[in-house]
Amino acid sequence: MNDPDPRPLWHWPNRRHLGHFLLRGVLVGAWFGLVYGGADWITAQHDYRVRVHLDADLAVPFVPASVLGYMAIYPLFWTAPFVLHTGRELRALAATLFAVIGVAGICFLVLPAAAVFPPTPDCGRWQDLVDFAKRLALTYNFVPSLHVAMSVVCAAIYALYAGILGRVLLGLWAGVIAVSTMLLHQHYVIDVVTGMLLGMAGVRWIYCRRMLTVPPTPARRG
């Protein structure tokens, strides 16, 4: 039996496909806000905290410019309708993100943590963007890093349809996001590692095994 014809990684979606993406984006965003914001609010109601950081975490330098890498998760989300060609693939991505967010929310409640980094220094020209990123991150949700988990989900799923160069670039993209969470003093090493594991587990068990009925077709070369 012949393999299916390879497809281009990038395509221009029609309005219907964009509509599917926007609808699922709104649903995932609402679920994220409920779980992430709800877990943070519940943790704020009590004083129990667990230590999830290592002493080495406190030696990680604060790099204000890393906020650019931190915010790179949003273009990664917006890439979905250009890489995923079918409504089924968009639904599978949304289902994977739903599952990952739900698991992370349980962990936030079971392992409530707190920031122990030194006070944020003056960030110069990066100040407004850093302040914005930190407001979005809220206060108590550390392990696993949902920022890392969701970026791994997106990058790993797109990589299923990419050639070698595309997979390398997507890996670098997700890697920059992961490192930025530590350089911005938003997460500890254990948060990043568990976030990566959660994201990869979501892709394997939800996207590939539960949601797709047809194996991904890698992008054609050239």
Give a yes or no: residue 8 inside a domain. Answer: no
Give a yes or no: residue 219 inside a domain. Answer: no
Environment class of 219 (CB within 10 Å of its CB; exposed 0-12, middle 13-18, buried 19+): buried
Give a yes or no: residue 140 inside a domain. Answer: yes
Give a yes or no: residue 42 inside a domain. Answer: yes
Alpha helix segments (H runs only) across 45-163: 67-71, 73-78, 80-83, 87-110, 127-137, 146-159
What DSSP designation does 3 have? P
Six-digit token string for 63: 């790099």
Give pTM, 2 decimals.
Answer: 0.90
pLDDT-derived band of residue 210, with 50, 70 and 90 as boundaries?
confident
Give a yes or no: residue 89 inside a domain. Answer: yes
Give a yes or no: residue 23 inside a domain. Answer: yes
Portion of the chain with pLDDT greater than 90, in percent: 85
Give a yes or no: residue 76 inside a domain. Answer: yes
The pLDDT of residue 50 is: 95
**Domain that residue 120 falls in:** 15-211
Ranking 124-128, 162-166, 211-215 by mean pLDDT, the lowest is 211-215
Residues 6+ apart with CB under 8 A from 64: 123, 124, 126, 127, 130, 184
Please check whether residue 90 is in contact with residue 81, taking contact to mean a CB–CB distance below 8 angstroms: yes
Give a yes or no: residue 202 inside a domain. Answer: yes
pLDDT-derived band of residue 219, with 50, 70 and 90 as boundaries?
low
Please check whether residue 98 is in contact with residue 192, taking contact to mean a CB–CB distance below 8 angstroms: no
Number of structural domains (the chain) is 1
Question: pLDDT tens digit string along 127-164?
Answer: 999 999 999 999 999 999 999 999 999 999 999 999 99
